[in-house]
Structure 1
Amino acid sequence: MTELIWDGKYDKDGRRVAPLRIALPFQTVETVNESAQQRQRAFDLFGGGQDPEWRNRLIWGDKKYVLPALLPEFAGKVDLVYIDPPFDTGADFSFQVQIDGEGFTKEPSVIEQKAYRDTWGRGLESYLQWFYETLILLRELLAPHGSVYVHLDENAAHYAKAVLDEVFGQDNFQREIVWRIGWVSGYKSAAKNWIRNHDVILFYVKDRGNFVFNKEYVPYPQSYVRRGANSRVERKGLPDRGCLERQSFRVRSEG
């Protein structure tokens, strides 16, 4: 398989640089109490196979430390991962504001810099190493039937797919999902270029022969007739295409 190489992927002895594996303890800052009815409903929906005392958790921290800390409890147990990582845009999220006719630059706070900045010390090489280490740990967390969805844009998606192929295997790539992100208007239409109007979500599984995918269906329109058939076909329906209008299907009328 073709391998994407970047500065920092291997050490001076030719060994791959592994992710940090310090399992720091979590500290509980706040606990939200639920009613017994709410808790049972959530457990019925999402808690299959979990300890009854298990709780949903919102974790604040750097993934460099959070992911290794999750491994002792959740390695091989996570069904689904969706990540929206930095897009390697180079943005530090400072912005210009006007106050009484004077311009000021709003610099990000220390917390904002840590949480949201998308700048990298060695540029693309730093970004790819960060992404590679993240995927290694996420794969270890996934259950054998688990799936991962990675949301990116044109800045990094093509590099990310090469890294995902390496970590998860080319055969475990399932789909590239095109996500329309807005309407064609304003500055987008004024750009001297093709209009960028979508992001992509890369869908991979841990084992292509053993993953879970629950497809949703919507009923057939009343006028739907299967091609070559004289009566309505008894099937589940049409795959749900989510954001599309439910009645926008092209159908063949009876008669």
Structure 2
Amino acid sequence: MGTNRPTNHLYYGDNLDVLRREIADASVDLIYLDPPFNSNASYNILFRAPDGAGTAAQVEAFHDSWHWNDAAADAFDQVARSGHADAFQLLDSLRRFLGENDMLAYLAMMTIRLIELRRVLKPSGSLYLHCDPTAGHYLKLLLDGVFAPRAFRREIVWRSGWVSGFKTRTANWVRNHDTIFYYVRDPAADWTFNKQYVAHAAGYERRGGGANPLGKPIDDVWDDPALYSPNIKSFSVEKLGYPTQKPVALLERIIAASSRPGDLVLDPFCGCGTAVHAAQKLARRWTGIDVTHLAIALIEKRLHAAFPDARFTVEGTPRDLASAEDLARRDRYQFQWWVVFLIGAMPHGGRRKGADGGVDGLLYCRPDGRTVERALVSVKSGEQVGVAMVRELHAAMVRDRAIAGVFVTRAAPTEPMIREAAAVGRFASSATGRSYARLQILTLAELMAGKRPDLPHVDPNAAFRQAVREDRGGQGSLL
């Protein structure tokens, strides 16, 4: 491998496709996956407005609900044809027990991916699957079917935090933990396990002497306050606004225990990127996969903030006009989010349309060098646009008292659209001594050629809660 090519990769796309296309057999040392739990809930990413301008925005990251449909039936059929008889026998038994319902759709989706994850693991490799009681008991059976019962090492109980707030209102025992299933690829192989310890409490003395100088061995119940979820800590410096974010310390423990420096760590459901962050910090190589541009953009910002010298590739996001147009045709919401992040804006509105006037993002600028002003972003992925869309954006600008609007269009704007935008006028910036068009039209082709909204003092990181810079560069020297 060339010395100038990064070995760390972030992939946008369906992890099943990426695993099959990009990840070689027996190439991965450690897999951590925190997949959807089939909770039938929507999870929103929280974005902040800089300097308190406006309110924090929420955009749906994913809806954790699965349905028995053609895609689920196809996943079930792929398991049947995979050659993994034990895994299929278990899944087929669950089909007879559960019926063709939402849970079976989720389990079929997970089974075919577990088969691929076993394929890419080295014989000495390990897998940690993070789940909750919604489907954990079914996933344990399927892991036994894919990996074999004797490959099971431990069931780890992770206490997610203290009991407070809405949790305490349940008419039941208060649930306050997740489960992590730990498996190895081949229990007969020389699989990696570096025993972990925590320091003894101050003043500790073992009866009869002989205390282990390394400290107390860590058991399979992880209730350390240092490992509590950042989302329940209002003071957490880790918190990025991602709904299912896990603490870096949790992933550091797993990675330190089941890999060595230079080993390859894979997270196929990487969300906001905690596993790849911990892998970078501990000098491991890493690969992360996620199916939304929201997650990919968040991880890029996170890694560049925490590890300014980190080197990695981002695969699957548009790199030219043809691939950008292809994304627009395949998924207009992912296209909108990709454009919003490309120009440094904050997502707005998610998959809702209507009352927001077609606003897809918010840009923040400082015309006087200090005061924060908003610019509205509207992204159009269709092949036809018209002057009514420009008027709609202008009306939203007036309603929201926005200083500017940016209209991004895949199709070429018409002459009436250009005239309508020009008629909105200009505003002056005392900080730059220039004036700027209040309503700017950018085409997708112009964006791909490097053109960006012309606004004074735009903060490209305004939408994101910044990750704390790590003292160590981690694997900056691992190329």
TM-score tier, shorter chain, comes to: 0.5 to 0.7
Question: 1:217 is matched with which residue: 197, 200, 224?
Answer: 197
State the superposition RMSD in angstroms.
Answer: 3.0
Structure 2 counterpart of 1:23: none
2:38 is paired with a residue whose SS is: coil
Where does 1:185-204 land on structure 2 (aligned, <5 Å)?
A: 185-204=164-183
User: d(CA) in 2 for partners of 1:88 and 1:192?
Assistant: 22
CA distance in 1, matches of 2:119, 2:195: 25
Give 1:223 shift. Answer: 5.0
Which structure has the larger Rg?
Answer: 2
User: Could you tell me which residue of structure 1 aligns to residue 33 of structure 2?
Assistant: 83
- Aligned residue type for 1:195: V
1:239 and 2:217 matched: yes
Amino acid paired to 1:212? T
Aligned-partner SS, 1:58: strand
Contact 2:16 2:116 in 1 (8 A): no
* Partner Cα separation in structure 1 for residue 215 and residue 42 of structure 2: 47
Question: 1:109-151: CA deviations, max 9, x gaps?
Answer: 7xx4xxx222212201111110000100000000111000111
Q: Name the CA shift for 1:78/1:51 in 2 (closer, same or farther; >3 Å).
A: farther
Task: Tell me if 1:150 matches 2:129.
Answer: yes
Question: What SS is found at the alignment partner of 1:214?
Answer: coil
Query: Structure 2 CA distance, aligned partners of 1:54 and 1:202?
Result: 31
Counterparts of 1:123-138 in structure 2 under 5 Å?
Answer: 123-138=102-117
Match for residue 59 of structure 1?
Answer: 11
Q: CA offset at residue 207 of structure 1? A: 1.3
Q: Which amino acid aligns with 1:118?
A: D
Q: In the alignment, is the contact (CA less than 8 A) between 1:91 and 1:119 conserved in 2?
A: yes
Letter in 2 for 1:238: K
Does the residue aligned with 1:79 lie in a helix, a strand or coil? Answer: strand
Partner of 1:207: 186
Compare the two structures and name the one with the higher helix fraction.
2
1:89 counterpart letter in structure 2: S
How many corresponding residue pairs? 178
What does residue 172 of structure 1 align with? 151
Return closer, same or farther for 1:64/1:151 CA change in 2, 3 Å cut-off. same
CA distance in 1, matches of 2:224, 2:40: 33
1:159 is the counterpart of 2:138: yes
* Deviation at residue 164 of structure 1 after TM alignment: 0.2
Conservation of the 8 A alpha-carbon contact between 1:93 and 1:107? no
Shift of 1:160: 0.3
Q: How many angstroms does 1:237 deviate by?
A: 3.5
